Amino acid sequence: MPFRIVFFCCLLALLAGCATTAPTNRPVETYFKQGEDLYQNKKYEDAIAQWKRAKESGNISPTLNTLADLRIADAQFENKSYIEAGAAYESFRKFHPSHPSAPYALFRLGLCYYNQITGIDTEQTPVTNAFLTFDSFLKQYPVSEYAPAAREKLVDCVIKQVQYEIYIGRFYLRFGKYQASVKRLEECLARYPQAPNLDEALLYLEKAYFLSGEKEKGRLTFDRFLLRFPTSKHLKEAENLLKKYK
Protein backbone atom coordinates (compact mmCIF):
# COMPACT_ATOMS: atom_id res chain seq x y z
CA MET A 1 0.00 0.00 0.00
CA PRO A 2 1.45 3.42 -0.93
CA PHE A 3 3.06 5.36 1.88
CA ARG A 4 0.65 8.31 1.73
CA ILE A 5 -2.42 6.11 2.19
CA VAL A 6 -0.81 4.27 5.09
CA PHE A 7 0.26 7.56 6.61
CA PHE A 8 -3.20 9.13 6.54
CA CYS A 9 -4.82 5.99 7.93
CA CYS A 10 -2.34 5.96 10.81
CA LEU A 11 -2.77 9.67 11.38
CA LEU A 12 -6.54 9.46 11.56
CA ALA A 13 -6.34 6.51 13.95
CA LEU A 14 -3.88 8.31 16.18
CA LEU A 15 -5.92 11.49 16.28
CA ALA A 16 -9.08 9.55 17.00
CA GLY A 17 -7.29 7.89 19.91
CA CYS A 18 -6.17 11.26 21.24
CA ALA A 19 -9.70 12.58 21.05
CA THR A 20 -11.34 9.65 22.83
CA THR A 21 -8.79 8.57 25.43
CA ALA A 22 -6.88 11.72 26.32
CA PRO A 23 -8.98 14.89 26.40
CA THR A 24 -5.95 16.90 27.50
CA ASN A 25 -4.45 16.24 24.06
CA ARG A 26 -7.28 17.92 22.17
CA PRO A 27 -5.19 21.01 21.27
CA VAL A 28 -2.67 18.67 19.62
CA GLU A 29 -5.47 17.02 17.66
CA THR A 30 -6.73 20.44 16.59
CA TYR A 31 -3.29 21.59 15.46
CA PHE A 32 -2.77 18.43 13.45
CA LYS A 33 -6.13 18.64 11.72
CA GLN A 34 -5.69 22.32 10.94
CA GLY A 35 -2.21 21.60 9.61
CA GLU A 36 -3.51 18.84 7.38
CA ASP A 37 -6.34 21.00 6.04
CA LEU A 38 -3.90 23.81 5.27
CA TYR A 39 -1.52 21.37 3.60
CA GLN A 40 -4.27 19.99 1.37
CA ASN A 41 -5.09 23.58 0.37
CA LYS A 42 -1.41 24.18 -0.48
CA LYS A 43 -0.94 26.67 2.34
CA TYR A 44 2.32 25.06 3.30
CA GLU A 45 3.82 27.70 5.55
CA ASP A 46 0.62 27.89 7.58
CA ALA A 47 0.52 24.10 7.80
CA ILE A 48 4.09 24.07 9.09
CA ALA A 49 3.15 26.63 11.74
CA GLN A 50 0.30 24.44 12.99
CA TRP A 51 2.47 21.32 13.20
CA LYS A 52 5.13 23.27 15.04
CA ARG A 53 2.49 24.43 17.52
CA ALA A 54 1.51 20.80 18.05
CA LYS A 55 5.14 19.91 18.77
CA GLU A 56 5.47 22.83 21.18
CA SER A 57 2.21 22.13 23.01
CA GLY A 58 3.95 20.09 25.70
CA ASN A 59 1.51 17.16 25.65
CA ILE A 60 2.22 15.63 22.25
CA SER A 61 2.88 11.89 22.13
CA PRO A 62 6.20 10.61 20.77
CA THR A 63 4.38 9.04 17.82
CA LEU A 64 2.62 12.24 16.83
CA ASN A 65 5.79 14.22 17.41
CA THR A 66 7.57 11.99 14.88
CA LEU A 67 4.73 12.38 12.39
CA ALA A 68 4.86 16.14 12.83
CA ASP A 69 8.55 16.13 11.92
CA LEU A 70 7.79 14.24 8.71
CA ARG A 71 4.82 16.41 7.76
CA ILE A 72 6.86 19.56 8.28
CA ALA A 73 9.48 18.17 5.92
CA ASP A 74 6.77 17.32 3.37
CA ALA A 75 5.31 20.81 3.53
CA GLN A 76 8.74 22.39 3.07
CA PHE A 77 9.30 20.13 0.08
CA GLU A 78 5.97 21.03 -1.52
CA ASN A 79 6.75 24.70 -0.85
CA LYS A 80 9.95 24.22 -2.89
CA SER A 81 12.09 25.01 0.16
CA TYR A 82 14.40 22.16 -0.77
CA ILE A 83 17.33 23.06 1.45
CA GLU A 84 15.11 23.20 4.54
CA ALA A 85 13.18 20.09 3.51
CA GLY A 86 16.40 18.18 2.88
CA ALA A 87 17.70 19.08 6.33
CA ALA A 88 14.38 17.99 7.86
CA TYR A 89 14.35 14.62 6.05
CA GLU A 90 17.97 14.04 7.01
CA SER A 91 17.17 14.85 10.65
CA PHE A 92 14.18 12.50 10.56
CA ARG A 93 16.39 9.63 9.39
CA LYS A 94 19.05 10.45 11.95
CA PHE A 95 16.66 10.27 14.88
CA HIS A 96 14.36 7.56 13.47
CA PRO A 97 16.58 5.23 11.40
CA SER A 98 14.32 2.20 11.81
CA HIS A 99 11.01 4.04 11.31
CA PRO A 100 8.79 2.60 8.53
CA SER A 101 9.00 5.97 6.79
CA ALA A 102 12.82 6.07 6.80
CA PRO A 103 13.03 4.84 3.16
CA TYR A 104 10.53 7.50 2.12
CA ALA A 105 12.56 10.19 3.89
CA LEU A 106 15.77 9.10 2.15
CA PHE A 107 14.06 9.09 -1.25
CA ARG A 108 12.67 12.56 -0.65
CA LEU A 109 16.11 13.74 0.46
CA GLY A 110 17.40 12.63 -2.93
CA LEU A 111 14.60 14.59 -4.61
CA CYS A 112 15.54 17.66 -2.57
CA TYR A 113 19.04 17.54 -4.03
CA TYR A 114 17.76 16.67 -7.49
CA ASN A 115 15.36 19.60 -7.55
CA GLN A 116 18.24 21.99 -6.84
CA ILE A 117 20.04 21.01 -10.06
CA THR A 118 20.35 23.83 -12.58
CA GLY A 119 22.52 23.95 -15.72
CA ILE A 120 25.76 22.19 -16.62
CA ASP A 121 27.63 25.50 -16.39
CA THR A 122 26.77 26.01 -12.72
CA GLU A 123 27.67 24.44 -9.37
CA GLN A 124 27.39 20.65 -9.67
CA THR A 125 27.19 19.76 -5.96
CA PRO A 126 23.41 19.08 -6.14
CA VAL A 127 24.00 16.55 -8.94
CA THR A 128 26.67 14.75 -6.92
CA ASN A 129 24.54 14.76 -3.76
CA ALA A 130 21.48 13.50 -5.62
CA PHE A 131 23.52 10.72 -7.24
CA LEU A 132 25.01 9.61 -3.92
CA THR A 133 21.63 9.71 -2.16
CA PHE A 134 19.74 7.73 -4.81
CA ASP A 135 22.61 5.26 -5.03
CA SER A 136 22.52 4.80 -1.25
CA PHE A 137 18.73 4.42 -1.36
CA LEU A 138 18.86 1.65 -3.95
CA LYS A 139 21.55 -0.22 -2.04
CA GLN A 140 19.50 -0.08 1.15
CA TYR A 141 15.99 -0.48 -0.27
CA PRO A 142 16.24 -2.20 -3.68
CA VAL A 143 12.64 -3.45 -3.61
CA SER A 144 11.02 -0.32 -2.18
CA GLU A 145 8.01 1.15 -3.94
CA TYR A 146 10.23 4.19 -4.60
CA ALA A 147 13.04 2.14 -6.17
CA PRO A 148 11.90 2.52 -9.82
CA ALA A 149 11.73 6.31 -9.50
CA ALA A 150 15.09 6.35 -7.69
CA ARG A 151 16.69 4.32 -10.52
CA GLU A 152 15.29 6.72 -13.09
CA LYS A 153 16.67 9.73 -11.21
CA LEU A 154 20.01 8.00 -10.71
CA VAL A 155 20.39 7.43 -14.46
CA ASP A 156 19.51 11.06 -15.12
CA CYS A 157 22.13 12.17 -12.59
CA VAL A 158 24.75 10.11 -14.43
CA ILE A 159 23.70 11.71 -17.72
CA LYS A 160 24.06 15.15 -16.16
CA GLN A 161 27.48 14.28 -14.74
CA VAL A 162 28.66 13.16 -18.18
CA GLN A 163 27.22 16.30 -19.75
CA TYR A 164 29.25 18.38 -17.32
CA GLU A 165 32.46 16.47 -18.14
CA ILE A 166 31.79 16.98 -21.86
CA TYR A 167 31.20 20.67 -21.20
CA ILE A 168 34.62 20.95 -19.53
CA GLY A 169 36.26 18.85 -22.26
CA ARG A 170 34.84 21.12 -24.94
CA PHE A 171 35.97 24.18 -22.99
CA TYR A 172 39.56 22.91 -23.08
CA LEU A 173 39.24 22.13 -26.78
CA ARG A 174 38.02 25.62 -27.54
CA PHE A 175 41.12 27.13 -25.96
CA GLY A 176 43.58 24.69 -27.48
CA LYS A 177 44.20 22.70 -24.29
CA TYR A 178 44.02 19.38 -26.10
CA GLN A 179 45.80 17.20 -23.55
CA ALA A 180 43.64 18.61 -20.76
CA SER A 181 40.57 17.78 -22.85
CA VAL A 182 41.82 14.24 -23.48
CA LYS A 183 42.46 13.69 -19.78
CA ARG A 184 39.04 14.97 -18.74
CA LEU A 185 37.14 12.95 -21.34
CA GLU A 186 39.10 9.73 -20.77
CA GLU A 187 38.41 10.03 -17.04
CA CYS A 188 34.73 10.58 -17.81
CA LEU A 189 34.61 7.40 -19.92
CA ALA A 190 36.31 5.43 -17.15
CA ARG A 191 34.13 6.84 -14.36
CA TYR A 192 30.76 6.41 -16.09
CA PRO A 193 31.21 3.37 -18.37
CA GLN A 194 27.48 2.61 -18.64
CA ALA A 195 26.21 6.15 -19.24
CA PRO A 196 23.88 6.33 -22.26
CA ASN A 197 25.37 9.61 -23.56
CA LEU A 198 29.03 8.58 -23.86
CA ASP A 199 28.80 8.85 -27.65
CA GLU A 200 29.20 12.61 -27.37
CA ALA A 201 32.14 12.19 -24.99
CA LEU A 202 33.81 9.86 -27.52
CA LEU A 203 33.16 12.36 -30.32
CA TYR A 204 35.04 15.13 -28.54
CA LEU A 205 37.75 12.75 -27.36
CA GLU A 206 38.31 11.75 -30.98
CA LYS A 207 38.55 15.42 -31.92
CA ALA A 208 40.94 16.17 -29.06
CA TYR A 209 43.26 13.35 -30.11
CA PHE A 210 43.28 14.46 -33.75
CA LEU A 211 43.90 18.11 -32.86
CA SER A 212 46.72 17.12 -30.52
CA GLY A 213 48.40 15.25 -33.37
CA GLU A 214 47.72 11.76 -31.95
CA LYS A 215 46.07 10.47 -35.11
CA GLU A 216 46.29 6.78 -34.21
CA LYS A 217 44.48 7.38 -30.93
CA GLY A 218 41.95 9.48 -32.82
CA ARG A 219 41.27 6.57 -35.19
CA LEU A 220 41.04 4.12 -32.30
CA THR A 221 38.58 6.41 -30.55
CA PHE A 222 36.41 6.48 -33.66
CA ASP A 223 36.48 2.67 -33.68
CA ARG A 224 35.33 2.67 -30.04
CA PHE A 225 32.57 5.10 -30.98
CA LEU A 226 31.38 3.03 -33.96
CA LEU A 227 31.46 -0.25 -32.05
CA ARG A 228 29.38 1.00 -29.16
CA PHE A 229 27.11 3.61 -30.77
CA PRO A 230 26.51 2.57 -34.40
CA THR A 231 23.20 4.45 -34.56
CA SER A 232 24.29 7.61 -32.69
CA LYS A 233 23.11 10.98 -33.93
CA HIS A 234 26.75 12.08 -33.65
CA LEU A 235 28.05 9.34 -35.96
CA LYS A 236 28.15 11.50 -39.07
CA GLU A 237 30.20 14.15 -37.28
CA ALA A 238 32.59 11.50 -35.98
CA GLU A 239 33.01 10.11 -39.53
CA ASN A 240 33.71 13.60 -40.85
CA LEU A 241 36.44 14.08 -38.23
CA LEU A 242 38.01 10.79 -39.29
CA LYS A 243 37.98 11.81 -42.96
CA LYS A 244 39.42 15.24 -42.19
CA TYR A 245 42.31 14.24 -39.93
CA LYS A 246 43.26 10.66 -40.75
pLDDT tens for 180-192 read 999 999 999 999 9
Helices (H), 141-196: 147-174, 178-191
CATH architecture of the domain 1-116 equals Alpha Horseshoe (1.25)
Within 10 angstroms of residue 68's Cβ, the number of other Cβ atoms is 23
What are the sequence ranges of the domains in the chain? 1-116
Contact 1, 145 (CB under 8 A): no
Q: Checking phi first, is residue 242 left (phi over 0); if not, alpha (psi -120 to 50) or beta?
A: alpha
pLDDT tens-digit readout, 85-141: 999 999 999 999 999 999 999 999 999 999 999 988 888 999 999 999 999 999 999
Cα–Cα dist 128/177, whole Å: 26
Q: Model-level pTM?
A: 0.85
CA gap 133, 106 in Å, rounded: 7
